[in-house]
Every structure is written in structure tokens, then in C-alpha cells.
Amino acid sequence: MGKERMLVTGGHSLEGQVRVSGGKNTAVAVIPATLLSDEPCTIENLPDIEDVHALADILAELGAKVDYEPGRLMRIDPRPAEGISISYHNAQRLRASYYLLGSLLGRCGHAKIPTPGGCEIGTRPVDQHLKGFRAIGAEAGEIGGMLTAEGELTGGDVFFDMVTVGGTVNVMLAAAKAKGNTTIYNAAKEPHIVDLANFLNSMGARIKGAGTDIIRIRGVQYLHGSTYAVIPDQIETGTLMIAAAATGGDVIISGCIPTHMEALSAKLLEMGVKVTDSDDAIRVHVVGPRRAINVKTQVYPGFPTDLQQPMSALLTTAKGTSIVTETIFEQRFRHLDEIRRMGAHVRVMGRTAIIEGVSELYSAPMTATDLRAGAALIIASLMARGTSEIYEPGFIDRGYEHIEDKLRSLGAEIRREALL
Ligand code: UD1
């Protein structure tokens, strides 16, 4: 695809109802997990995003039979898959390509994956993943740009030094069919960890404790086929909530899981925005001025780092001074350098951003530096006077399904054009 830019004209308040797509972070774990199955699987509610397209290509590259209907489902017959490695090109297409390491190790006791690409938000080491594989009986290492893992898995105790989503996923994948039992201590508790455990259990795996910080996995020999729908996207839900709040709008976000959104809902309420939950929908309604707040990113159920960028964009126009502290990734404020060009008053000191709310932002040309930074630029542009240009919108396509269509259906003026 050639170069493109997004054009966003601000000043329209978003109104109406919009439906959330299936979760990116759960899809990128569940699709590699199908390789562990001894029978065909069908995964439903998959978002039509670049990361999912890349995984369809990767499974096909490994030899699996993949029948993919974008935006709907993917049927995967893993039985013909014989590969234990994927191409550099495909590995660079998404960060989560390293989940193939856990799933291939669990499937055939051997995997070799090029160190993945993905978003540039700071160094993203994989030492904990490798340590986890070693603890359950594999030899694992990183050499010459390749991650390797090999061995007959016996299971074991895994103690993570820090809470890592990717490490937890990778060890769950590898351990599901190990010869013995595995316990993961200091496990991540994100909703997609629970979703992955539910999917594996639906195939006959025996995983308990997902959603708490101790996960126990009893290795099984055989996993049967399953038809499984992934949960709605927590971060898309949050981005739409923030977009509604940013534009002074009144939006119902349907098809979501409100309990996954409590950290964000609490912060929006603190700003003075009305947030009302029902079973599977959230209404975000702006009734008066939005006040400055402090935000500190934390592992789930704390405030998610993936929403820090859209949230800090919103705070550039809140009344007063906000302090945003990023505790998970060290380079996650690059979007603020771009938004500063729109007239925002922001100072970044290490992992802290001090944001003095201004009454108005002005349109500017900007570049998305990663997926959630791209979403933050859209939020800022929706608030700004004039038409902003967002370059490198491809980053946004990695994780948001048809974002322009969804925002346009709520009254936003947003479009994309090819660059000559
Ligand atoms: C996942 C999410 C991402 C989210 C992040 C934090 C997916 C596909 N991606 O990323 O959207 O922003 O969780 O919620 O689910 N770390 C190490 N060594 C390791 C692994 C991690 O030092 O071996 C560090 C990281 O540098 C980071 C922290 O641990 O500072 C958390 O990272 P982790 O939870 O692993 O994030 P990802 O799985 O990459």
C-alpha cells in the first residue's frame, strides 16, 4: 500500500451509538493458540485489523490451512502445519509474532522466531519469556536476531520478575500441553489473559486462576477443536470513550464489557464527565467543563498504558494542570511532542508529563509514531480548530478496525487520502 495521510477537521461533538470490535490483544494470542489444537478451530469476532491479517499469513506460512473472512472469523486447521519458523518479513509485521514461540514450542518442542517488530515505545525485552520457557524445561535464548526455544516440556514453577502480559501468554501457550504441571507466579491479570485461558480450556486444557496473579496449568496430551468468539476490545472501547469526552459529545459505546473499563470510567468521572454503564454498553456524556486530573499507568486493573496516550491528548484541553505518569514503557510520550505543535502546553520529564490545559488546540500536520500515539493524534485533532493532517496512519490500522468509519458515523469529519 502507498503512503497515506488522514485528514481530521475538529470541532464536531460526537453523538450516537457505535459498536466495539473484537479485541486485538486477545486475537493475537488466541490465533497462535490454535496451533496447539489437534483438530480444526474457528475463531469468531476477530477485528479486521493489520495484526490479524499478518497472523493469518503467518499460520499459512507454517503450513496450516487458513480460511479467513476478514471482520468475521478465521477457520484454522493446524494439522498440516510443519513449520517451526517464520520469515523475518512476517515477524516484523506485529509485536505479537513472538507468541508463535510459545505455541510452536508447545506444539512441536521446537521454535525459531525472528525478534519481532511492533510499536516503538521503548526497549521491549523478552528475558522473562525466555526465563519462563527455561523454567518449564526448554532451552531458550536470543542469538543473531532470532528467538529460539527447544525441549521436551516438563512444566515447572515460573516466577516473573515483573508483571508481563506477553510473558504470561507465552508461558501459558507453551505449558498447556507440557508433560507436567506449571504454576505462573506474578502473572498478568489483563482481560485477554482470561480470554486466552477460556479459549484453551474450551479445547480441553486445564488452566485455573487466570485473572489472578497465580495461574495453574495442568498439562494435557490432546486438545480438541473449538469455536470461540474473542472478547470485545478494551482499548478501542476506551479510545471511543475518550473521543466522546474530548468532543463534548454524548455517545453510547455498545458491545463492550463495562467492568473492564472501570479505571478509565473513574478518571472520566473525576474530570466531570458523565459515564453510565449498562450490561454491555457505556454512555459517555459531557455536561460541563472537564477538569484536570492525575493519571498513573498500572497493570490491570489499574489505568492501562495503552489508554495513556489518548487520555493525555484529552487532558491538553482540561481545566487546570494534569500530571501523567507512565510506569510501564519508557518512551510513551512521543505523541505529546506532536500535540505540542497544536498549541498544547506540555512538559515531559522522564516518565512524567505535566499538562497545562489550554482553551483551544489548533490544527497541525503530525506523524503517528505508534498505534496508540496515532489514536491520541486523532483525539487531539477532533478537538482542534481547523483540519489536521496525520501521517503514517498505517500504525493505527494495526489495532483499530475501520476507525474512520466508526468516528464518521458519530459525526466526525475524518477521511484518508493517498499521498502522491
Ligand atoms: C502487552 C500489550 C500492550 C500493552 C502492554 C502493557 C499485547 C499484544 N500487547 O504488551 O498493548 O501496552 O501489554 O499492558 O497484549 N518486560 C521485560 N521483560 C520481558 C517482558 C516485559 O522487562 O521479558 C517489561 C516491558 O519492557 C515493560 C513491562 O515489562 O516495561 C510490561 O510489558 P508486557 O506486559 O510484557 O507488555 P507486552 O506484552 O509487550
Asked if residues 215 and 172 have their Cβ atoms less than 8 Å apart, the reply is yes
Give me the pLDDT at residue 331, please. Answer: 83
Share of the chain residues as helix, strand and coil, in percent rounded to the nearest 5: 35, 30, 35
Give me the pLDDT at residue 131, please. Answer: 97
Atom of ligand 1 nearest to the CA of 306: 12
Which residue minimizes the CA distance to atom 12 of ligand 1? Answer: 306
Atom of ligand 1 nearest to the CA of 188: 34
Give me the pLDDT at residue 37, please. Answer: 98
Share of the chain above pLDDT 90, in %: 94
Atom of ligand 1 nearest to the CA of 126: 23
Share of the chain above pLDDT 70, in %: 98
Which residue minimizes the CA distance to atom 25 of ligand 1? Answer: 124
pLDDT band per the 50, 70, 90 thresholds, residue 121: low
Q: Which domains, ranges and CATH numbers included, belong to the chain? A: 4-20+232-418 (3.65.10.10), 24-229 (3.65.10.10)
Three cell numbers, residue 303? 489505568
Give me the pLDDT at residue 2, please. Answer: 75
pLDDT reading at 119 higher than 80? no
Please name the residues in contact with 259: beta carbons below 8 A apart, sequence gap of 6 or more. none
Ligand 1 centroid to residue 327 C-alpha, Å: 11
Residue-wise pLDDT tens digits, 260-290: 999 999 999 999 999 999 999 999 999 999 9
Helix extents (H) in 141-261 = 165-175, 191-202, 234-246
Give me the pLDDT at residue 120, please. Answer: 63
Testing ligand 1's pocket by substitution, the residue of 52, 121, 124 carrying the most ligand atoms inside 8 A of its CB is 124
**Cα(308)–Cα(297) distance, rounded to whole angstroms?**
7
pLDDT reading at 1 higher than 70? no
Ligand 1 centroid to residue 342 C-alpha, Å: 30
On whether the pTM is more than 0.75, the answer is: yes
Residue with cell 486485538: 24
Burial annotation 95-113 (CB, 10 A radius, 16+ → b, else e) = bbbbbbbbbbbbbebebbb
Ligand 1 centroid to residue 319 C-alpha, Å: 32
**Cα(247)–Cα(296) distance, rounded to whole angstroms?**
23
Q: Distance between alpha carbon 223 and the CA centroid of its chain, in Å? A: 27
Mean pLDDT of 360-379: 96
Ligand 1 centroid to residue 7 C-alpha, Å: 31
In 3D space, the residue among 203, 209, 204, 205 whose CA is nearest the CA of residue 185 turns out to be 209
Mean pLDDT of 289-300: 97
Ligand 1 centroid to residue 368 C-alpha, Å: 20
pLDDT band per the 50, 70, 90 thresholds, residue 420: confident
Mean pLDDT of 312-339: 95
Mean pLDDT of 222-238: 98
Testing ligand 1's pocket by substitution, the residue of 165, 230, 234, 396 carrying the most ligand atoms inside 8 A of its CB is 165
Mean pLDDT of 23-40: 98
Which residue minimizes the CA distance to atom 15 of ligand 1? Answer: 25
Give me the pLDDT at residue 158, please. Answer: 98
Give me the pLDDT at residue 124, please. Answer: 79
Give me the pLDDT at residue 330, please. Answer: 82
Give me the pLDDT at residue 114, please. Answer: 93
Mean pLDDT of 251-259: 98
Testing ligand 1's pocket by substitution, the residue of 30, 31, 164, 186 carrying the most ligand atoms inside 8 A of its CB is 164
Residue-wise pLDDT tens digits, 384-403: 999 999 999 999 999 999 99
Mean pLDDT of 74-101: 94
Give me the pLDDT at residue 188, please. Answer: 98
Q: Distance between alpha carbon 402 and the CA centroid of its chain, in Å? A: 16
Active-site residue set: 119
Mean pLDDT for all residues in the chain: 96
Please name the residues in contact with 85: beta carbons below 8 A apart, sequence gap of 6 or more. 111, 112, 113
Give me the pLDDT at residue 357, please. Answer: 98
In 3D space, the residue among 92, 33, 95, 26 whose CA is nearest the CA of residue 59 turns out to be 33
pLDDT band per the 50, 70, 90 thresholds, residue 118: low
Within 10 A of 278 (CB to CB), how many other CB atoms are there?
10
Mean pLDDT of 301-310: 98
Q: What is the dihedral of CA 334, 339, 340, 342, to 10 degrees?
A: 160
Mean pLDDT of 66-84: 95
In 239-384, the DSSP E strands lie at: 250-254, 273-277, 281-286, 294-296, 321-325, 345-349, 352-356, 365-367
Ligand 1 centroid to residue 166 C-alpha, Å: 6
pLDDT band per the 50, 70, 90 thresholds, residue 116: confident
User: Phi, psi (5° rounding) for residue 220?
Assistant: -120, 160
Residue-wise pLDDT tens digits, 193-202: 999 999 999 9
Which residue minimizes the CA distance to atom 8 of ligand 1? Answer: 25
pLDDT reading at 72 higher than 90? no
Q: Give residue ranges with CB within 6 A of ligand 1.
A: 25, 28, 96, 124-129, 162, 164-167, 188, 304-306, 328-329
Give me the pLDDT at residue 17, please. Answer: 98
Give me the pLDDT at residue 55, please. Answer: 97
